[in-house]
Structure 1
Amino acid sequence: MSFPPLHAFRVFECVARLGHVGAAAAELHVTPGAVSQQLRTLQSSLGIDLFYKQGRHLVLTQSGLALQRSVARGIHEITEGVRQIAQEHFKEPQAKVLTISTEPIFGATWLMPRLFAFRAEHPHIQLRVISADELGEVDWRRADIAVLYDAPIWDGFWWRPLQPLHMFPVCCPQLLRGPHALRQPSDLIHHRLLHEDDGTQWRRWLLEARLPYPGDADVHFEDFGIALQAARDGYGVALSDEINSSRDLMEGRLVQPFSMKVPAAMDYYCICNEESRGVPEIVLLIDWLIEQAKATPSN
Structure 2
Amino acid sequence: MSRNPYGLPSLKMLKSFECAARCGSIKDAAAELFVTPGAVSHQVKALEQELGVQLFIRSHRAVELTPEGWVLKDALSRGFFDISRAIKSIQSRVDPNSVTIGATTAVSSLWLTPRISRFWRDHGEITINQHVRDRPFVRPVLLDLVIEYRISAPDEPHDVLFDDVLIPLCAPDFDRSGASELGDIAALPLIHLDAKETNWTSWQNWFDALNYNGELSTRHRVNNYTIALQLAKDGQGVVLGWQRLVAPLLDAGELIVLGRYRSAAPGRFYLIHAGIENNAQTALVRQWLINDID
- TM > 0.5: yes
| Paired residues of 1:168 and 1:260 also in contact (CA < 8 A) | yes
Cα distance change, pair 208–138 in 1 and its aligned pair in 2 (3 A): closer
The DSSP-based 3-state class of the residue aligned with 2:245 is coil
The DSSP-based 3-state class of the residue aligned with 1:234 is coil
Cα distance change, pair 175–111 in 1 and its aligned pair in 2 (3 A): same
Cα distance change, pair 140–218 in 1 and its aligned pair in 2 (3 A): same
Cα distance, 1:216 vs structure 2: 6.3
Partner of 1:195: 192
Cα distance, 1:181 vs structure 2: 4.5
Structure-2-length-normalised TM-score: 0.58
Partner of 2:22: none
1:213 and 1:162 map into 2 onto residues whose CA distance is 34
Cα distance change, pair 95–117 in 1 and its aligned pair in 2 (3 A): farther
Cα distance, 1:275 vs structure 2: 5.7
The DSSP-based 3-state class of the residue aligned with 2:204 is helix
Unaligned runs of 5+ in 1: 1-93
Cα distance, 1:95 vs structure 2: 6.4
Cα distance, 1:137 vs structure 2: 3.2
The DSSP-based 3-state class of the residue aligned with 1:136 is coil
| Paired residues of 1:175 and 1:181 also in contact (CA < 8 A) | no
Partner of 1:73: none
What one-letter code is carried by the residue in structure 2 that aligns with 1:165?
A: D
What one-letter code is carried by the residue in structure 1 that aligns with 2:206?
A: W
Partner of 2:172: 173
Matched, 1:112 2:113: yes
Cα distance change, pair 264–230 in 1 and its aligned pair in 2 (3 A): same
The DSSP-based 3-state class of the residue aligned with 2:289 is helix
Partner of 1:281: 281
Partner of 2:162: 163
What one-letter code is carried by the residue in structure 1 that aligns with 2:190?
A: L
| Paired residues of 1:162 and 1:267 also in contact (CA < 8 A) | yes
* TM-superposition CA deviations, 1:230-250 (whole Å, max 9, x none): 111111111110233111101
2:166 and 2:187 map into 1 onto residues whose CA distance is 20
Matches within 5 A, 1:1-299: 96-137=97-138, 140-141=141-142, 143-152=143-152, 154-155=154-155, 157-175=156-174, 180-197=177-194, 201-215=202-216, 217-273=218-274, 276-277=277-278, 279-293=279-293, 295=294
2:244 and 2:152 map into 1 onto residues whose CA distance is 18
1:276 and 1:205 map into 2 onto residues whose CA distance is 39
| Structure with more of its chain in helix, by fraction | 1
Higher relative contact order (CA 8 A, sep 6+): 2
1:132 and 1:139 map into 2 onto residues whose CA distance is 15
The DSSP-based 3-state class of the residue aligned with 1:137 is coil
Cα distance, 1:271 vs structure 2: 0.8
Which runs of 4 or more aligned residues in structure 1 lie more than 6 Å from their structure 2 counterparts after TM superposition?
A: none
1:276 and 1:213 map into 2 onto residues whose CA distance is 51
What one-letter code is carried by the residue in structure 2 that aligns with 1:102?
A: A
Cα distance change, pair 162–97 in 1 and its aligned pair in 2 (3 A): same
| Percent of matched pairs sharing the same residue | 23
| Paired residues of 2:165 and 2:244 also in contact (CA < 8 A) | no
Structure-1-length-normalised TM-score: 0.58
Cα distance, 1:138 vs structure 2: 6.8
1:126 and 1:260 map into 2 onto residues whose CA distance is 41
> How many correspondences in the alignment?
196
1:218 and 1:114 map into 2 onto residues whose CA distance is 33
The DSSP-based 3-state class of the residue aligned with 2:113 is helix
| Paired residues of 2:99 and 2:126 also in contact (CA < 8 A) | yes
Unaligned runs of 5+ in 2: 1-94
